[in-house]
Structures are given as structure tokens and as C-alpha cells.
A = this chain, B = another copy of it.
Amino acid sequence: MATEASTAYGDSLAFLLSQVGARSAELFAARVAGLGITPRQFAVLSHVESGTPRTQQQLADLLGIHRNNMVALIDEMEAAGWVYRQRGETDRRVFEIRPTDAGAVLVAKVNELIPDLDSSLTAALTDRQREQLVHALAVIADSLGLARAVHPHVASRGS
């Protein structure tokens, strides 16, 4: 349980951020696991469900996942009945990934879970503290060049 430790980095903002962030990701993964979906699958499904149709390559670029790894991802999600492949009409090389009704329902279910997770994370904060926290994080995310809805943990490295 780490009764004490007296390490210097324990006071670091970078450490606090990555520590709380990692736990935050774990909690999210644990909650959506109950719905049978992984964070990475949800990231893909969420993009597919909201917006114009995306090809596998576009999804790969968008999420920072290599297109090679996108294949198995889409395979799983197609087998789960959340999406289906549809040949591009103008470019017959591509597959446009579209959500099924079940996929859209699942996205809605996950999105309903998120406010509750956010609340549990900030249960010990005042409303004002929470607002300031969100704002500060958004500012940092911008300054780091982090795109909205693109998560480094979901991504691999190659484009």
C-alpha cells in the first residue's frame, strides 16, 4: 500500500497529471467493459457514429492507429454487430465504415455513462473548482496540440 515513500517526483504536476489521468482511463475502461466494449473500440465507434462515413484509413489517421491494426479492430466490431463495411462507390478500394442501429445505441449508452464517471471523479471538488479544472485542462490540451477526441493512449505510433 506504499505507507510512505518520500520521493521527490511525487510533488510534480506532470506526475500528478499522468497518475490521475491513468486511473481515470482505467475507470473509464472498467465502466464501458460492462457494455462489452474497449476504449479503443469506443473511440472508433464514436467517430463512425457521429459524422460523415469514414474509411478505415481515415479512421486510422484520425485516431493515430496504424491501418494494419485497424483491420482487426473493424473485424471485431463487425462481428459484434456494431458496424459494417461498405465498398466505396467512387473509389472501390476503400471500405466505408458505417454504424448499425446496435452500434448507435451502444454509443448512446456509453455517453450516458460519462457524466456519472465525471461526477465521481470530482465528488470531492466544489462546482467552481471543477469548472476551473476543466478549463485548465482544456488550456493545457490546446497548448500541447492535443486534438479533441484523439487520445494518446488509444493511438499507436505509426500513421
Which single residue of chain B is at the shortest CB-CB distance from A18? B25
A46 to B7, CA, bound (A): 6
Interface centre among A10, A25, A140 (most CB of B within 10 A): A140
Question: How far apart sit A115 and B125, CA to CA, in the bound complex (Å)?
Answer: 26
User: Does A72 lie at the interface of the complex (its beta carbon under 8 Å from any beta carbon of B)?
Assistant: no
Q: Does A111 contact B (CB under 8 A)?
A: yes
How many identical chains are in the complex? 2
- A122 & B140 in contact (Cβ 8 Å cutoff): yes
Q: How far apart are the CA atoms of A111 and B12 in the complex, in Å?
A: 9
A66 beta carbon closer than 8 Å to chain B = no
A interface size (C-beta, 8 A): 67
Residue ranges of A at the interface with B (Cβ–Cβ < 8 Å): 1-2, 4-10, 12-28, 42, 46-47, 50-51, 61-62, 107, 110-111, 114-115, 117-118, 121-125, 129-130, 132-134, 136-144, 146-153
Least Cβ–Cβ distance between A159 and chain B, in angstroms: 10
Whether B136 lies near A5 (C-beta < 8 A) is no
Chain B residues positioned under 8 Å from A141 (CB to CB): 16, 19-20
Q: Which residue of B lies closest to A147 (CB)?
A: B2
CB distance from A154 to the nearest CB of B (A): 9
Interface pair A8/B152, CB less than 8 Å apart: no
Return chain B residues, CB-CB under 8 Å to A151: 15, 18-19, 22
Cα–Cα distance between A149 and B17 once the two chains are bound (Å)? 12
Given known pairs A28-B18, A125-B136, A150-B2, the reply for A144 and B23 (CB within 8 Å) is yes
Q: How far is the CB of A52 from chain B (nearest CB, A)?
A: 10
Contacts of A118 in B (CB 8 A): 12-14
